[in-house]
Every structure is written in C-alpha cells, then in structure tokens.
C-alpha cells in the first residue's frame, strides 16, 4: 500500500508547460476522473509511457485545460509505483486548480523529495544515485552537472559495489573458518586476504582523494582578493562579477568589511571575497577590516594578490604577494612601473585591467588551473557529497585496521570485526543499511515534485 501523492513537478512560475505528477495506489484511476482523452478512451486502458491528448476537467466537469497525459505502471516507473503525469499549460493558477481537483479526488500533496524517496525505497535507485538527482538539479556549472549525471547513472555505486562484493566474499570465508573450525575449509590464507584488503583500500583511497575536487565542483572555489589599499581589489571584484557589487573610490582604505559574491567563470564557480586593503593603520575600524582580510586570506582556497602595475612595488605588497596562488597585476591600461622581485617570479602572474576588462578571462583560467585535486578524474567518479565522503573514509579506516590486524597475526575474528565495520559503512553509503531518520534528512533537501 502506498498513499497516492501529487505535486507540481515544474516550477511554480509562468511558463510554456507545467507538469503535475501523481504516484501511488490508484494513480491511474485518479487521473481518469480528471483527464478525458480526445480519442474517447480512458487512461486506464492506455499503453504505458505514451502521451495521450485530451481535456482536463474538474470533478464537476468544468474544462480546466487541454493537454497531454501519460501513465506508467508498477514496477516500471521512476518511483516503482503506478504513476501518471499531466502536461498542461504553464499557468500557475490553472495548475493550482488542477492540483486542487486531484486532492479532492483522493491524492495528497507530496513532500519534498517524496517521489525520489519512493524510488529509493522501491530499489529503483541507491542512495548515491538519489543524492545525484538533487545535485544535478542544483548544479551551477557544466562540470558539476556532468559529474552528477554520471553519478545518477551509478558511477559511485559501481566503484563501491566492487569493493563491497570482495569484502563480503572475504567475510563469508572468515565466518566459515571461525564458526566451523573442524570442517575441511581452505584455511585462513593471510596473503590472499592481504591482496583483497590492499585492493579495497586503494580503491577507497582513490575515491576519497577526489573529494577536494568535488567540494570545489559543488561549492565553488573560495578566492580572496587581497593587497594594499587602492590597488583595485574592489574594481577587480566588480569586473569579475560583471556588476558593481563593491564601492570603488580613489581614496585608499575604501573597503572596510569583506564583500562576498559568486560568479561562474570558465566552467568554475568562484566564491569571491573582496577585502580591506592591507596596511598599518591607527584607525580602529580599518584595523578590524585588516584583521578580516588576513582571516579571509587564511580561509581561501586561492589567494589572488592584487598589485598595482602602474606603481613600483612597496613593502605592503609583499605580505599578500608571498601568500598568493596568483598575482593579478592590475591597471595594465596604464604605463607599467612595477618590477617583480626574484622571489615572486615562481608565482603565476596575469596582467589585468579592471577598467578595460583586459586579462580577466586569463585570470579566471589561471585560478581554475590551481584548483585542489586532480582534474583528470572521469565524470561521476568525483565525490561531491560530504555524507558519502564520510562513509568512504570510515570504510577505509576499517579496511586499514583489518589489514594491520592481519599483518600483526591476530585471530581471524578480530580481522572479521573490522571488515564488517567496513561493510556497514559501505552499506550506509549506498543506503543498503540506513537508519530511517537519516533517510528522512537526506530527502528533505529535495524540492517538492522530485
């Protein structure tokens, strides 16, 4: 028995088409009360996954819209249940009226993520795939979307399932050895077990190593724009964002607080932080701003030190420049008077002009090249999800503990305990074994209708 749920699957905004979904027991019968095919038939007799043209009428027979309807039947649907979809005109008012009629006909409003949760509970998706659904919807860059869609196709699952299966074979054999010591079972073969554990550890470590990159893919790179006053940090922030976010003046010390905003450049999401100019100052407010600048520099994934290329280098330029991942040599539209000392020549430097926009693209490309983690990992094999990374780390810890126990020559049951802990972590990762409250929390992140 599964309750009949309904929701608007498309956004609640004026658009060309709006889609209402229904899932659960009686979905097809419910839609039959509202949708009347032009060919005179019923959706109950319609073949699955075929779009049928017709009228949507209220329970009282009032014509609400004309559109298309499709049904799919359990278990061959997204949720694994009987489902129906109405494709109507994208009028929020008309769609609300149709949804209201469906509720009167016995459906109830679906909760956020409830369709996908049912797909998970009915074994249509594992948890890494379900989480990829929301990551795909939330993706802000092409790279993040590609990775999420490959995970939706099961990329993480395939990698960890292989480890799970090998560890499971090992426990089966261990149990046999531990539980039936008198039987003639091939004895405890430390060396072959060691091979299995090494391979499992390597695969898990490889996956975990991608998480740095994954965090960047999902959350963006924190870039701090730092430098002495008046070099053009705020101007550069505005140029990168494409609009006037921060105040710019020719008065040194204009920016007091940190100013943050995000942009997507060169396929990478940048979380830019403009900071107060670094200098010794007696002004209490400005000094607090400088402290925030130093903190922003510490918290950044990439420090962009901004230098004024139309001026000779000053001692105040050195603190940020020495910490920089990239030097932005700003004001390149003016005659150049900056010379870089030998110690800074190893840092990539890009000539830019916040005023003319010259070099801005090159700057973002240079930042992208500095991102943490390897860039050659195939799409889908980058862990972007902190929950998943936590379970992979837990599984890896247990595999390593098992390996050490094996090398130390302890009894098989001690090794077995560790391997079972690794299996439990991998079980939580895919959702094979997961407490109900954790499942609830995961699906709350979804939007209604998905």
Please list, in sequence order, all residues whose beta carbon lies within 8 angstroms of the beta carbon of residue 443, skipping any fewer than 6 positions away: 111, 112, 113, 114, 116, 117, 120, 130
d(CA 370, CA 78): 40
How far apart are CB 351 and ligand GTP at their closest, in Å? 10
- Site track for ligand GTP across 305-344, x = CB under 6 A: -------------------------xx-xx----------
How far apart are CB 242 and ligand GTP at their closest, in Å? 15
3-state DSSP assignment of residue 163: helix
Among 67, 232, 320, 431, binds ligand GTP (CB under 6 A): 232
How far apart are CB 241 and Mg ion at their closest, in Å? 13
Binding interface with Mg ion (CB under 5 A): 233-234, 254-255
Among 83, 128, 353, 385, binds ligand GTP (CB under 6 A): 353
Interaction of residue 58 with ligand GTP, rule CB under 6 A: no
Among 70, 128, 210, 234, binds ligand GTP (CB under 6 A): 234
- Candidates 139, 151, 70; CA nearest to 377 is 151
Interaction of residue 258 with ligand GTP, rule CB under 6 A: no
CA geometry: angle 7, 11, 15, nearest 5 deg = 120
CA torsion, ordered 173, 178, 179, 181, to nearest 10 deg: 100
331's contact among Mg ion, ligand GTP, none, with CB below 5 to 8 A by partner kind, is: ligand GTP
Interaction of residue 250 with ligand GTP, rule CB under 6 A: yes
Main-chain dihedrals φ then ψ at residue 8, nearest 5 degrees: -75, 125
d(CA 253, CA 234): 11
Interaction of residue 215 with ligand GTP, rule CB under 6 A: no
388's contact among ligand GTP, Mg ion, none, with CB below 5 to 8 A by partner kind, is: none
Among 355, 362, 387, 432, binds ligand GTP (CB under 6 A): 355
Give the number of residues in contact with ligand GTP, rule: CB under 6 A: 24
Interaction of residue 233 with ligand GTP, rule CB under 6 A: yes
Compute CA distances 382 → 139, 166, 302, 400, 446, whole Å.
14, 22, 20, 22, 21
366's contact among ligand GTP, Mg ion, none, with CB below 5 to 8 A by partner kind, is: none
Q: 412-424: string of b/e by CB count within 10 Å (b at 16+)?
A: beebbebbbbbbb
- Candidates 186, 151, 183; CA nearest to 169 is 186
Binding site for ligand GTP (CB under 6 A): 227, 229-235, 248-250, 252-255, 276-277, 330-331, 333-334, 353-355
């Amino acid at each position: 028995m599964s309750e009949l749920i309904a929701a608007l699957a498309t956004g609640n905004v004026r658009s060309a088409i709006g889609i209402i979904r229904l899932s659960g027991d009686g979905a097809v019968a419910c839609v039959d009360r509202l949708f009347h095919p032009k060919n005179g038939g019923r959706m109950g007799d319609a073949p699955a996954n075929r779009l049928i043209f017709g009228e949507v009428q209220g329970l009282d027979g009032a014509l609400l819209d004309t559109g298309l309807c499709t049904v799919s039947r359990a278990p061959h649907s997204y949720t694994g249940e009987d489902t129906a979809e109405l494709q109507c005109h994208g009028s929020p008012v008309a769609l609300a009226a149709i949804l209201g009629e469906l509720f009167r006909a016995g459906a109830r409003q679906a909760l956020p993520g409830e369709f996908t949760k049912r797909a998970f509970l009915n074994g249509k998706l594992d948890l890494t795939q379900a989480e990829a659904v929301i990551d795909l919807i939330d993706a802000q860059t092409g790279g993040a979307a590609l990775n999420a869609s490959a995970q939706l196709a099961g990329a993480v699952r395939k990698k960890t399932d292989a480890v799970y299966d090998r560890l499971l074979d090992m426990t089966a054999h261990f149990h046999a050895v531990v539980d039936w010591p008198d039987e003639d079972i091939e004895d405890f073969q430390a060396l072959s077990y060691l091979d299995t554990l090494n391979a499992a550890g390597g695969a898990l470590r490889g996956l975990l190593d991608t998480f740095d990159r994954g965090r960047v893919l999902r959350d963006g790179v924190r870039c701090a724009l730092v430098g002495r006053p008046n070099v053009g940090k705020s101007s550069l922030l505005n140029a990168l964002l494409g609009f006037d976010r921060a105040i710019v003046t020719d008065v040194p010390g204009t920016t007091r607080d940190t100013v943050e905003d995000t942009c997507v450049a060169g396929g990478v999401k940048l979380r830019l932080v403009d900071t107060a100019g670094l200098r010794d100052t007696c002004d209490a407010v400005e000094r607090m701003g400088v402290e925030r600048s130093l903190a922003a520099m510490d918290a950044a994934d990439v420090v962009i030190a901004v230098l004024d290329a139309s001026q000779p280098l000053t001692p105040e330029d050195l603190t940020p420049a020495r910490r920089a991942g990239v030097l932005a040599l700003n004001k390149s539209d003016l005659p150049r008077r900056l010379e870089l000392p030998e110690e800074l020549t190893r840092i990539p430097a890009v000539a830019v002009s916040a005023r003319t926009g010259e070099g801005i693209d090159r700057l973002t490309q240079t930042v992208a090249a500095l991102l943490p983690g390897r860039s050659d990992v195939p799409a889908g094999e980058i862990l972007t999800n902190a929950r998943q990374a936590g379970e992979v780390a837990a599984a890896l810890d247990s595999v390593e503990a098992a390996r050490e126990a094996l090398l130390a020559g302890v009894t098989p049951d001690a090794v077995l305990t560790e391997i079972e802990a690794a299996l439990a972590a991998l079980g939580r990762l895919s959702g094979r074994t997961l407490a109900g409250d954790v499942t609830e929390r995961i699906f709350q992140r979804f939007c209604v209708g998905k």
